[in-house]
Homo-oligomer: A and B are copies of this chain.
Amino acid sequence: MAERVYLYDTTLRDGAQTQGVDFSAADKVRIARELDRIGIDYVEGGWPGANPTDDAFFADPPAFKRSRLTAFGMTRRAGRSADNDPGLNALLVTPARVATMVGKSWDFQVTVALGIELDENLRMVADSVQHARTKVEEVMFDAEHFFDGYKANPAYALAAAKAAYDAGARWVVLCDTNGGTLPHEMRRIVGEVIKGGIPGSHLGVHCHNDSDTAVANSLAAVEAGVRQIQGTLNGLGERCGNANLISIIPALMLKMGFDTGIAPEDLKNLVSVSRALDEVLDRTPNRGQPYVGKSAFAHKGGLHVSAVAKDPKCYEHVDPASVGNMRHIVMSDQAGRSNLVARLTEIGIDLDSVKRESLVRVVDQMQVTFDAREATDLVDLVKRLEHEGYAYDQAAASFELLVRRALGEVPEYFALERYRVIDERRRNAHGEWITLSEATVKVEVGGTEYMEVGEGTGPVHAFDVALRKVLTRVYPALTALELKDYRVRITESTVGTAAKTRVTIESEDDKGHRWTTVGVHTNVLEASLEALQDSITFMLFRFKDE
């Protein structure tokens, strides 16, 4: 039977330290759900008491099916008893039944940064672990700067780790805080710690990628005997990032034969879990990311491709499907096709039932650089649109509308005949700045023309107000439509204000439905209006009569 290695995710705490990353509590819940879905053992939610976001998260954490929620904090302060330390206490009263405490193990840091006696630090570690054990179910100790500390003073670093272990910590986690350790040092030091009296079954490592070896360091530590790995999704983390769980998980499972608690079926969610984080961060997925990147199993045309077809094992280190990825043949694009056909089948559509003439009608109002009559079939059309910037994998509602429009199934609930949006800023008579956005729309609904004007806090908002003034008369259900998220991206790499933009809108109604639509245009406003109109149409098409 395969040996078990435990996984600990710190995307929500150490990952949140990343420059430019600023999770809301709702973002954290979204990511935590993904971690639970794939089956990560421990999900560190944050540091209770450190900031309002983490407090909000722990005040109302998501219910997990598989993961254990973990709270992070510090060992008690010097000169204070553990049960009289407010910081430590904050860590132990959350709904999390697992508590991880960080403390020092480098003698230099104890005497210089903390300015206390070496023995007092060991007592702080032991006391805190003992106290925490009476309050929560599982206690971990993160030995900060362990590897730098061990190189400077092995006996003391080991003593700090042992203090936690002897006090009853379920896990002692050796942290390469600065990320400077190389795999051969990792292997040697972990081996010495195990010889020093802490069994590998109680040891973990926490690596950073400053040396570009965080994944290898984690794997080297497992080889040397540790049985817990801490890391983050996509290697998110400050400086150069933390160890990337997305790379570590398949290596452990597919190459090293360990049981991570993740079933082979769950592993197929690896790509979607990785993408979910990119979504929250509004980052373009890294094409070259090992295992999950769009190019990770890309093969260039020619001889090579026929060889791949002959025996993929010759050219692929793992089966792309095992991690939810797929082979991507550059140039021929055959791989994309079967994927699309699969997606259409999923929403119950027979490709052959789509007439080629209908494709032209579908793109009528889209700004595309190709002639719709050139599209050979629906799959070809979708691929062309994706090339134009439409990201249908992130906007399932627009994808479904596109397809059902091609089938002639979507009624024209309304037709926007024209609009005008005016944005203005000037000083009023009192010399104060006034900014206003005003939209006029002319819309045809059921043979009748309506004209309305609306004001808003920006051009998209003003348009939304005016359009819905018209539409709610005929479709009162639309009052319940709420726009929940709005994202804008430039779709090309060399760009300016004139480049093509993609707008993604997430909408919600009062029955708990959520759907995402997309618009693409050189004009950011047009792209927004396209996504907005799709959102309204989708709600009418799908949920009006529920």
Contacts and interface: CB of A to CB of B under 8 A. Distances in A.
A66 B178 CA distance: 34
A540 to B, nearest CB: 19
A213 B219 contact: yes
Contacts of A379: none
Contacts of A180: 255, 317-318
Interface in A240-292: 240-241, 244, 247, 251, 255-256, 282-283, 287-291
Contacts of A423: 419-421, 423, 459, 523, 525
A520 interface: no
A178 B456 contact: no
Contact of A184 (B220, B394, B483): B220
A380 interface: no
Interface residues of A, number: 121
Interface string A306-329: 010011001111100000000000
A234 to B, nearest CB: 11
Interface string A98-125: 0000000010110011000000000000
Given A295-B19, A425-B418, A459-B423, A240 B497 contact: no
Contacts of A318: 180
A238 interface: yes
A425 to B, nearest CB: 6
A377 interface: no
A189 B317 CA distance: 17
A393 interface: yes
Interface stretch (A22-30, A32-40, A164-172, A406-414): A22-30
Contacts of A247: 211-212
Interface stretch (A3-11, A296-304, A472-480): A296-304
A200 interface: no
A84 to B, nearest CB: 21
A338 interface: no
Interface string A75-112: 00000000000000000000000000000001011001
Q: Which residue among A20, A108, A113 has the maximum number of chain B CB atoms within 10 Å of its CB? A: A20
A464 B484 CA distance: 29
Interface in A440-468: 456-461, 464
Interface in A394-444: 394, 416-427, 433, 435, 437
A379 B459 CA distance: 34
Interface in A464-503: 464, 482-490, 492-499, 501
A424 B418 CA distance: 7
A109 B212 CA distance: 32
B483 A239 contact: no
Given A240-B288, A458-B525, A493-B26, A211 B317 contact: yes
B486 A251 contact: no
A227 interface: no
A522 B424 contact: no
B365 A433 contact: yes
Contact of A210 (B220, B290, B425): B290
B183 A219 contact: yes
Contacts of A113: 307, 310, 314
Contact of A295 (B27, B148, B239, B525): B239
A425 B419 contact: yes
A497 B300 contact: no
B524 A459 contact: yes
A487 B484 contact: no
Contacts of A501: 458, 486
A313 B479 CA distance: 54
Contact of A239 (B22, B184, B241, B296): B296
A182 interface: yes
9 contacts: A19-B295, A20-B287, A145-B314, A211-B215, A420-B423, A464-B497, A485-B495, A486-B496, A488-B524
Interface of A: 17-20, 22, 24-27, 51, 106, 108-109, 112-113, 145, 148, 177-180, 182-184, 209-213, 215-217, 219-220, 223, 238-241, 244, 247, 251, 255-256, 282-283, 287-291, 293, 295-298, 300-301, 307, 310-311, 314-318, 330, 332-334, 365, 391, 393-394, 416-427, 433, 435, 437, 456-461, 464, 482-490, 492-499, 501, 521-526, 532
Given A184-B223, A418-B425, A459-B459, 17 more contacts: A19-B295, A19-B332, A22-B333, A24-B493, A27-B493, A182-B219, A183-B220, A213-B215, A213-B251, A238-B298, A239-B296, A417-B426, A418-B427, A457-B522, A458-B521, A460-B524, A482-B496
State the 3 A-B residue pairs at the shortest beta-carbon distance, nearest first.
A180-B317, A216-B216, A488-B488
